[in-house]
Amino acid sequence: MARRGMSKRGERDDDDDDVDVELEPPVARTSPGQQNGGSSQADELARLKRLLFGKEAQRLAYLEKALSTGRLTPADVSAVLPEAVRHTVAKDDRLGKALAPTLESAIQSSVTRNPKRLADALFPVLGPAIRKSIAAAMSGMVDNFNAALENSLSIRSLKWRWEARRTGRTFAEVVLAHTLVYRVEQVLLIHREQGVLLCHVVAPSVQIRDPDLVSAMLTAISDFVADSFGDEDGDEPVAEVKFGSRTLHVAAGPYAVLAAVVAGKALPTLAESLATTVEQVHMEAALELSEFRGDADVFRAVKPLLEECLDEQRKERKRSPLVWLVWLAILGTAGWFGWQAWQERQRVEAVWQGGLSALRQAPGVVVLDVDRDGDRVRIAGLRDPEARAPAEILAAAGLDPSTLDLEFETYSSLDHDFVEARMRRLLDVPGAPFLRLVGDVVEAQGHATHAWIERASILAPTIPGVTRLDRTALVDTDRRELESAWTRLAALRFHFTEGTDVIEPHPVDDAEIALTLSWLDTQTALAGSFARIVIQGRAVPTEQDTVGDLGRRRASAAARRLEELLPEATGYDIVADVDPGDPEAWGGRADRMVHMKVKLLGVGRR
């Protein structure tokens, strides 16, 4: 073979030489003697060749280069790759299997780098896949539940329990034996020569013994049978072994055998299925099998193939009426609870909507944002301090305040009722007159103290919704009292003995005069003003007193008298003066008296 190979190589070299002759310009082949004469001819020939075969020559040169270097450029590979992939896929699935590890690494790398990208790409298929999986799981659960119902409630199950007790088997084993047509309990991949277990899968809830020993013993038995009863070259392993209710089905490949332990009567297709699987195992792990040196871990990759063989078929059974009744009861109960839950939910929703509506309609409350998160509700908005508390409104509507998070900021509503309420809270204090809000004006009617009037006049324009206090219909009680006091004082007369400034006794005693002075003093303070008592003294002019000095002295005497009566007064002062009146008009006692006038000097004088 080695020599034949050399010969081929030699032939190919010759071929290469032929190609060289065609591609090289003729000038390289000419002798030195011909060089000058043939140069122009050669040039022309080369030119002609370029004209005729220019593209082909370039292509040949390219191919020659590719062959000589033995390398393919990315452009070469890209040109043939799609066709090559189509060809390989049409032929078999080796390409997919070869690419699988690379794809797995690529996906792992992608997930590590940016999981969101793959998640976004898979999102459309994840939903259906999950639904399908859940549906399958639910179906299995219902089947198992049905089986459990039947097996725990029926007379038959009692028989099976008795059978399990009698035969020493577990109840599960007895149930399986009666309900399964067949089940592949475990599948072993065994190295054909060494009898070593390469891979092993077991159906759920199947109790197994040491699969290593099973593999070795199966091989030993198979060897023994083959040696004892087989053909001369017969190394075909045992195909089937029956033991009790189980059968061992064996499918052999060149390097490994696949043994399936089957409970019950297997379907005829099982043998074919095992044969296909063992072929696939040989295809996928050809190298690992042929060069097996004891490392069984490398066969983990074929475990999914073995798991596909774990098939089972259950007996179709007519459902017991009891099962239907139980299902009916369960569905009925579930339906009743569901109806109750739905009704409760509707009720809660109605209460909630009613509460929210009441809150929205409540004067002085503005709902800005409602956020429901499960059982908790957050309501944000504005509330006038005069308005009803939102928690109170919602509680009155039947909502549980403990489930509410209320965030209300304070604001002033311009609603008439709220403006009036605000006005009354500030102005309608004890002693206030009758108050009425007309538009944005507070009308006050009746009597009020001077202090109230002053306060109300200042506060009214500061109340949101109010511009001023209308006091035209208002009586200042303090001012009235003051006027009353000075009227009484103005009526007071002091008479003097003739020609002197000695005050005659007068009918009003000093105590009463002092009381009137005190009243005046108090009322000027309450009315926020200051009074001046002007005392004017009269005296008939004489030859000795032409300028009315006596009248002035009389006024001063009266002033001293008043000062003595209430020395601590601060609400007024006293001025003594001559009465500028006409003495002719006085007559009688009137010409030797003093009288008083009271002047109010205005608010803020004190």
Q: Which residues bind another protein (CB under 8 A)?
A: 191-198, 210, 212-213, 216-217, 219-220, 223-224, 226-227, 235, 293-297
Is residue 486 within 8 A of residue 544, CB to CB? The reply is no
Containing 45, the helix (H) or strand (E) segment is helix 35-69
* Structure tokens that stand for 217 in this block: 């013993």
* Structure tokens that stand for 264 in this block: 């019950």
Nearest residue (CB) to another protein, 212 versus 415: 212
Nearest residue (CB) to another protein, 235 versus 392: 235
Nearest residue (CB) to another protein, 252 versus 444: 252
Least separation in angstroms between CB 313 and another protein: 33
CB atoms within 10 A of CB 212: 15
- Angle subtended by helix axes 171-179 and 155-167, to nearest 10: 120
Nearest residue (CB) to another protein, 175 versus 258: 258
Kindly write down the DSSP assignment for every residue of 242-274, as one continuous string: EETTEEEEEEE-SSEEEEEEEEEPPPTHHHHHH
Residue that is written with structure tokens 């108050």 in the block: 435
In degrees, rounded to 5, the angle at the alpha carbon of residue 144 between the alpha carbons of residues 138 and 145 is: 85
Nearest residue (CB) to another protein, 148 versus 213: 213
CA 200 – CA 215 distance, rounded (Å): 10
Least separation in angstroms between CB 186 and another protein: 17
Is residue 420 within 8 A of residue 402, CB to CB? The reply is no
Nearest residue (CB) to another protein, 210 versus 405: 210
Is residue 420 within 8 A of residue 442, CB to CB? The reply is no
CA 50 – CA 439 distance, rounded (Å): 109
CA 603 – CA 531 distance, rounded (Å): 10
Nearest residue (CB) to another protein, 223 versus 549: 223
Least separation in angstroms between CB 230 and another protein: 10
Nearest residue (CB) to another protein, 226 versus 382: 226
Least separation in angstroms between CB 281 and another protein: 17
Q: Is 184 left (phi over 0), alpha (psi -120 to 50) or beta?
A: beta
Least separation in angstroms between CB 191 and another protein: 7
Least separation in angstroms between CB 91 and another protein: 34
Nearest residue (CB) to another protein, 151 versus 215: 215
CA 300 – CA 134 distance, rounded (Å): 28
Nearest residue (CB) to another protein, 192 versus 450: 192
Least separation in angstroms between CB 219 and another protein: 8
Least separation in angstroms between CB 293 and another protein: 5
Nearest residue (CB) to another protein, 302 versus 513: 302
Residues near 449 by beta carbon (within 8 Å), at least 6 away in sequence: 431, 476, 477, 478, 526
Q: Biggest alpha carbon distance in the chain?
A: 188
Tell me phi and psi for residue 498, to 5 degrees: -60, 130
Q: 236: exposed, middle or buried (C-beta count within 10 Å: 0-12, 13-18, 19+)? A: middle
What is the 8-class DSSP label of residue 244? T
Nearest residue (CB) to another protein, 295 versus 369: 295
Least separation in angstroms between CB 299 and another protein: 10
In degrees, rounded to 5, the angle at the alpha carbon of residue 279 between the alpha carbons of residues 210 and 190 is: 20
Least separation in angstroms between CB 70 and another protein: 36
CB atoms within 10 A of CB 278: 25
Least separation in angstroms between CB 198 and another protein: 8
Is residue 198 within 8 A of residue 189, CB to CB? The reply is yes
Least separation in angstroms between CB 188 and another protein: 12
Least separation in angstroms between CB 257 and another protein: 12
Least separation in angstroms between CB 221 and another protein: 9
Is residue 601 within 8 A of residue 534, CB to CB? The reply is no
Q: Helix (H, G, I), strand (E, B), or coil: what is residue 166?
A: helix
What is the 8-class DSSP label of residue 503? B
In angstroms, the Cα distances linking 564 to 511, 517, 533, 560 are 12, 11, 15, 6
Nearest residue (CB) to another protein, 233 versus 543: 233
Nearest residue (CB) to another protein, 285 versus 469: 285
Residues near 288 by beta carbon (within 8 Å), at least 6 away in sequence: 298, 299
CA 201 – CA 211 distance, rounded (Å): 10
